[in-house]
Amino acid sequence: MFFLSLLCICGLLLRGDAQDRASLWRGNDRSGRCQYTFTVPSPAEATCPQAGGPELDGLKARLGVLEALVAQLGGKDVQPRGGQPGAAARPQPELQEALSRAVAERNLLQGEKERLQRELDTLKLRMEEMRRETERLRSRPCLSQSPMAAATATQQDWGRGRLAADSTWLHGAQGFQEVKAEVTEVPAPDGNVDNTGCGQLISVGEPVTHRKADNIAGKYGVWMQDPEAVSPYGASMLWRIDTIGTEVRQLYGYDDMEQLSKGFPSKVLLLPDPLESTGATIYRGSLYYQRRLSRTLIRYDLASENVAARRELPHAGFHGQFPYSWGGYTDIDLSVDEKGLWAVYSTSKAQGAIVISKLDPHSLEVKRSWETSIRKASVANSFMICGKLYTVASYAARDTTINQVYDTATSQLKAVSIPFKNKYGYNSMIDYSLAQRKLFAWDNFHLVSYDLRLGRQQAN
C-alpha cells in the first residue's frame, strides 16, 4: 500500500513538467484499480490561442473596421461590427463632391489668373510701343499736305499736324524713291458714256511696280480703286490694306497713285470689325470685306465711316476651309466688274469647287449663284471681267498662265493659256480694277498693276 501511494505522489510531481514533454503517471481509479496515464504534448496544441477573451474581442473590432471601410468604398452605409458608428464609417459623398468642386474651381481660377497675366503683359508691351511711336512722331518735323488731304482730316488722323501714314511714312521714307511710280490720270465716271460693253481677255502686260511695303504686315495685302467713287473721295483715290496680323483693321487712303507710290496716305480709317483675306473690294463709296473668322460680309460706308450692311454669305467656307492654292485665308474673294459686285468662294456642298455669286451691292444678298467645276485650291487666284471668271495657275512661278475662264452668261468653262508673270514670286491678291481697266495685284510686299488687252466688245 505504501508503495502504491509513493507512485501516486511521484505521478503528481511528474505532472508539473508534462506541459513541455512526454509524461507518465499512475493512480487509482474510483474502483481502486491502478491506472497508468501517458501524456505527449502536441506542437499544434501548444500554440493554440485561447478560445475567447480579449483576443477574440480585438479580432471582432478589427473585422468591424474592415467591414466599414469596404462599405465606404462601395458607397454603402454600414456600422462596424460590434461598435458605435465612427467618423470612418459616415457617408462621405457630399464631402467628396464638395472637395472635387473646390479643386475644379481652384484650377479654373488659376487658369483665369494666368490668362489675365498674359493679357496684362501684352497690354504693357503695346503701351510701350505706342509710347515709343508717340515720341518718334513728336521728334519729327511736319510734312506738307495737299489741300485734299487737309480737307479730309478727321478725328482718326494720327498726330497733330500730320494726317495719316503708312508704315514706311512712319519709319522713314527713304525707300520710295527707288520705286518708279506710274501715275495714271483717271477721268471721273461720266454717266453719259456707255461703259458696259465687255470684251474677252486677250493678253496681260508686264507687271508695273507702284510701291513696296516695308514691314511684315505688308507681305500680303489688297489695294483697290473705286470705279464709281462717292464724295468726299475723288475718282483717283486709291485704298490699301496690309493683311498680315490677327487684327487687320486699318484702311489707308491715298489721293492718287503718286501719293500711294510715295507712301503718303491722306486718310486712315479704322474698321469696326477686323478683316480676313485679301478679297476686299471698293465700290460706290463702300468697302466690302469678309469679317475675320466668319462668313459675314460687311459693307462699310467710307463717307459716314459706319457699317451700312452686314450679312452672311450662305454656306461659304472661311478661315482656311477653301482658300486659293497659296492659302492665307483667301476663302472669300470679292470683286467688282462691269456687271457689278461678285463673291468667289466655295461651300461644303460644292466640295471645294469655285462658286460664283452675284451680290446686291446695297443689301449684300445673293442674287444668283453659279457652281463651277474648278477646284478652288488648284488655282492661285481669280478675277472677274465682265461677268467672266479668270483663274491664274500659279502664285509663285515667275512665268505662269491664266488658264481657265468661266462665263456666267453661258455657264460654260473654257481652258485658255494667257501668259502672266509673278515678278516677285508670291502673289497674294489679283483683281480687275474697273476704274483703270487693269489688273491690280499684291506680289510679295509689292503693289503691282498689269495692263490688259481686251477683245472686241460684245453686246452682252
**Cβ at position 215, least distance to Ca ion in Å:** 24
User: Which is closer to Ca ion, CB of 381 or CB of 436?
Assistant: 381
Separation between Cα atoms, residue 388 and residue 379, nearest integer Å: 16
**Cβ at position 111, least distance to Ca ion in Å:** 42
Residue 242 within binding range of Ca ion, rule CB under 5 A: no
**Cβ at position 303, least distance to Ca ion in Å:** 25
Q: What angle do CA 152, 154, 158 make, to 5 degrees?
A: 110
x/- contact string, 68-107, with Ca ion (CB under 5 A)? Answer: ----------------------------------------
| Count of positions on this chain that bind Ca ion (CB under 5 A) | 4
Residue 152: all three cell numbers together: 479730309
Cα R_g (the chain), whole angstroms: 46
Instruction: DSSP letter for 319, please.
Output: S
Residues 332-391 that bind Ca ion (CB under 5 A): 333, 381, 383
User: Which is closer to Ca ion, CB of 64 or CB of 328?
Assistant: 328
**Cβ at position 300, least distance to Ca ion in Å:** 19
**Cβ at position 189, least distance to Ca ion in Å:** 22
User: Which is closer to Ca ion, CB of 256 or CB of 333?
Assistant: 333
| Binding span for Ca ion by CB under 5 A among 89-97, 201-209, 233-241, 427-435 | 427-435
Cα 49 off chain centre by = 75
Burial class (CB in 10 A: 0-12, 13-18, 19+), 70: exposed
Under DSSP, is residue 207 helix (H, G, I), strand (E, B) or coil? strand
Residue 320's contacts (CB-CB under 8 Å, 6 or more residues apart) are 327, 329, 331
For 5-44, b where at least 16 C-beta lie within 10 A, e where not — what string?
A: eeeeeebeeeeeebeeeebebeeeeeeeeeeeeeeeeeee
User: Which is closer to Ca ion, CB of 198 or CB of 392?
Assistant: 392
**Cβ at position 392, least distance to Ca ion in Å:** 9
x/- contact string, 385-424, with Ca ion (CB under 5 A)? Answer: ----------------------------------------
User: Which is closer to Ca ion, CB of 163 or CB of 204?
Assistant: 204
**Cβ at position 248, least distance to Ca ion in Å:** 17
Among 431, 432, 438, 445, binds Ca ion (CB under 5 A): 431
Residue 343's contacts (CB-CB under 8 Å, 6 or more residues apart) are 297, 313, 316, 332, 333, 334, 356, 357, 359, 366
**Cβ at position 170, least distance to Ca ion in Å:** 29
Identify the CA nearest to 222 among candidates 230, 211, 232.
Answer: 211
Block residue for cell numbers 514670286? 425
User: Which is closer to Ca ion, CB of 157 or CB of 431?
Assistant: 431
Residues 9-38 that bind Ca ion (CB under 5 A): none
Cβ(303)–Cβ(232) under 8 Å? yes
x/- contact string, 194-233, with Ca ion (CB under 5 A)? Answer: ----------------------------------------
User: Which is closer to Ca ion, CB of 166 or CB of 331?
Assistant: 331
**Cβ at position 366, least distance to Ca ion in Å:** 18
**Cβ at position 330, least distance to Ca ion in Å:** 8
User: Which is closer to Ca ion, CB of 331 or CB of 431?
Assistant: 431
SS3 per residue for 221-283: EEEEECCCCCCCCCCCCEEEEECCCCCCCEEEEECCHHHHHHCCCCEEEECCCCEEEEEEEEE
Separation between Cα atoms, residue 200 and residue 187, nearest integer Å: 23
User: Which is closer to Ca ion, CB of 276 or CB of 333?
Assistant: 333
Identify the CA nearest to 333 among candidates 306, 354, 360, 310.
Answer: 354
Separation between Cα atoms, residue 297 and residue 273, nearest integer Å: 10
Residue numbers of the site for Ca ion (CB under 5 A)? 333, 381, 383, 431
